[in-house]
Amino acid sequence: MVSLFSDTETRPTAGMRAAIAAAEVGDEQKGEDPTVTRLQARVAELLGKEAALWLPTGTMCNLVAVKVHTRPGDALIADGMAHVIRAESGGAALASGVLVEPIRTARGIFTPSELAAAMERVTAVPVPYGQPVGVVCVEQTHNFGGGAVWPLDALRAVAACARERGVPVHMDGARLLNACAASGVSAADFAGAVDSLWIDFTKGLGAPIGAVLAGTSGFIAEARRYKQLFGGAMRQAGIAAAGCLYALDHHVDRLAEDHEHARLLAAGLAATDCIHVRTPEPETNMVFFDVRGLGIGNAEFLRRLAARGVRMGAAGGAIRAVTHLDVTRADIETAIAAVRRVQAESVAG
Ligand SMILES: *Cc1c(COP(=O)(O)O)cnc(C)c1O
């Protein structure tokens, strides 16, 4: 089976499993796990932030960060298809009591004037009737935006707009390192534009567990409290953190290969009749395409494709294919051939 369902499909490699087996561990909840401590220091340095905090998932990073930045009743502003709004079970509402003010965009990237307009909508009626804006969230790369990269200048301009109004900016950097590979901008430069951010180790980096949130020492001290409160504090978590350290050493430089594979896939699909590629020139590791021209629904397309040994998923009304560590160039060719066979069979039938 070739799985392009998600970049979370990666399995730990033999090298990563060896690093995990050899990990030095301690009680992480007490701050005594040396491998977790090493990973946190490494990520803080990578991102140029004062401190960092290991958490079990990226979802918990967003949950904790929004909790630290906001008070109940504040507004959270983000692109309308941001993961923090659409794909976290309403966690920001439940845990932080924030009211979401979405910005409608084509690819998840908004401008300072769109942000200013959203802030004005929220504060149009003065306090005590209106509400303060607690946090602005950006997503790098933007998942439902097709793996779109926030250019550094665009990010800085939006952050300046928020800062002028005294509002912090939080980055969901689940795929920040993909953005770095695609743009040549360093992780620290992107991170320098925002107040807090996190990276996920279970996406293109290929580790089985873990994400690390970074920010000022004060922010991380508060975050540590909520990590405990939400049940995210662990024991011998160095077992998992060792996989993340291994990923930083071995799986970052190769991300460009995933992007090359996504471009190959997009080109192959674009040359297939009745398939409309929404991301004809993918910036990173995702390809979105429509199969309406085949006269079968997304679910039926995915079923027929799986029967031919290729797994993809549906997202945002389209088919989504994501390249990653466990997908080779030959797998991309297999995937294109499988889509073409489903296409030919659908048109014939
Ligand atoms: C996967 C993802 C998350 C959540 O991360 P988990 O580690 O799966 O909890 C958040 N934001 C984006 C953009 C993601 O792709």
For 111-157, the pLDDT digits (tens) are: 999 999 999 999 888 878 889 999 999 999 999 999 999 999 999 99
For 75-93, the pLDDT digits (tens) are: 999 999 999 999 999 999 9
Q: Of 184, 309, 193, 187, nearest to 259 (Cα)?
A: 184
Return the ligand 1 atom nearest residue 82 CA. 13
Give the three-class secondary structure for 119.
helix
In whole angstroms, give the CA distance from residue 244 to residue 94.
Answer: 29
> Considering the chain, what is the average pLDDT of its residues?
97
Return the ligand 1 atom nearest residue 142 CA. 13
Please determine, for residue 33, whether its predicted confidence score (pLDDT) is greater than 70.
yes
Q: Of 25, 5, 12, 3, nearest to 250 (Cα)?
A: 12
pLDDT at residue 126 in the model: 82
pLDDT at residue 349 in the model: 64
Mutate which of 143, 171, 230 for ligand 1? The one with the most ligand atoms within 8 Å of its CB, which is 143
Q: Which two tokens stand for residue 54?
A: 């290991």
- What's the pTM value of the predicted model, to 2 decimals? 0.97
- Residue 146: CB atoms within 10 A of its CB come to 24
Distance 218 CA to ligand 1 centre (A): 24
Mutate which of 7, 8, 59, 244 for ligand 1? The one with the most ligand atoms within 8 Å of its CB, which is 59
For 147-179, the pLDDT digits (tens) are: 999 999 999 999 999 999 999 999 999 999 999
Q: Which two tokens stand for residue 216?
A: 């000022």
Mean pLDDT of 14-42: 98
Q: Which residues line ligand 1 (CB under 6 A)?
A: 57-59, 83, 139, 143, 172, 174, 200, 202, 211
In whole angstroms, give the CA distance from residue 303 to residue 275.
Answer: 17
- Residue 269: CB atoms within 10 A of its CB come to 23
Distance 211 CA to ligand 1 centre (A): 9
Distance 346 CA to ligand 1 centre (A): 34
Nearest CA owner, ligand 1 atom 8: 58
Return the ligand 1 atom nearest residue 211 CA. 7
Q: Of 341, 264, 266, nearest to 308 (Cα)?
A: 341
The helix (H) or strand (E) run that includes residue 341 is helix 329-348
Yes or no: say if 320 and 312 are a contact pair by the CB < 8 Å rule.
yes
pLDDT at residue 347 in the model: 78
Return the ligand 1 atom nearest residue 172 CA. 11
Give the three-class secondary structure for 122.
helix
For 296-322, the pLDDT digits (tens) are: 999 999 999 999 999 999 988 899 999
Return the ligand 1 atom nearest residue 59 CA. 9
Please determine, for residue 260, whether its predicted confidence score (pLDDT) is greater than 70.
yes
Could you give the percent of the chain with pLDDT greater than 90? 95
